[in-house]
Amino acid sequence: MMAKWYGDDVLRDLTEKGYVVDHMNNDHMDCRISNLEFLKHNRNVAKGQYLDKEAKQMRYRLAVSLFKDFSTGCYQITIGCNDHIVAKDSVGQERHINTIKILCNCDYLLVVLDAEAILTEYEAAGKFSIANLHCCDKRIEEAIDMKLTDEEKNQAFVIRDGVPYMVIGNGKNFLNSINYEKGWLPPGK
């Protein structure tokens, strides 16, 4: 797959320099180009020993995924908030968060380290900061503020005006992965 997209010469050159093909989501059967990237062998082993394992263990709290948009060359870290995540907006008002998408226009290794930092901070403190990451843009989707009855709180889905909504946080449903936004470019590009 990598030879198809990058060419045999690039694949051979990077392989000779010690790079391997990393499956960003650690699913070796998922060979979409958005899931593949070159990474030094030792870094790939380290990613497998920490990020891939931690992301799997913490998925029921934060569903952290990595993607590369081949059309832009940028990476995205997407976060599905299965825990109740609250952020403060620019005027200090609390916002309940559903998903966070972080755009990175840097080396893939830095994206891996940022994803590790998110999981490490969240596990240690129950929160994380985007401010110190190597991101150039972010998109935050607020959760829909919906009053639920006691019965609805224990259901997998509720319907309002004919629209189904998934209930998260009751142990019945969780976000497994949030897909990336194709074509998202850094500001000013």
CA angle 37–76–26, rounded 5-degree value: 45
- pLDDT digit of tens for each residue in the chain (189 aa)? 899 999 999 999 999 999 999 999 999 999 999 999 999 999 999 999 999 999 999 999 999 999 999 999 999 999 999 998 988 878 888 889 999 999 999 999 999 999 999 999 999 999 999 999 999 999 999 988 889 999 998 999 999 999 999 998 888 889 999 999 999 999 998
Provide the domain count of the chain: 1
Phi-psi category of 41—alpha, beta or left, where left has phi over 0 and alpha has psi -120 to 50? alpha
Residue 173 lies in a domain: no
Residue 161 lies in a domain: yes
Residue 76 lies in a domain: yes
Residue 180 lies in a domain: no
Residue 94 lies in a domain: yes
Residue 179 lies in a domain: no
Residue 181 lies in a domain: no
Residue 71 lies in a domain: yes
Domain that holds residue 17: 2-166
Q: What is the pTM of this model?
A: 0.91
**Count of residues making up the chain:** 189
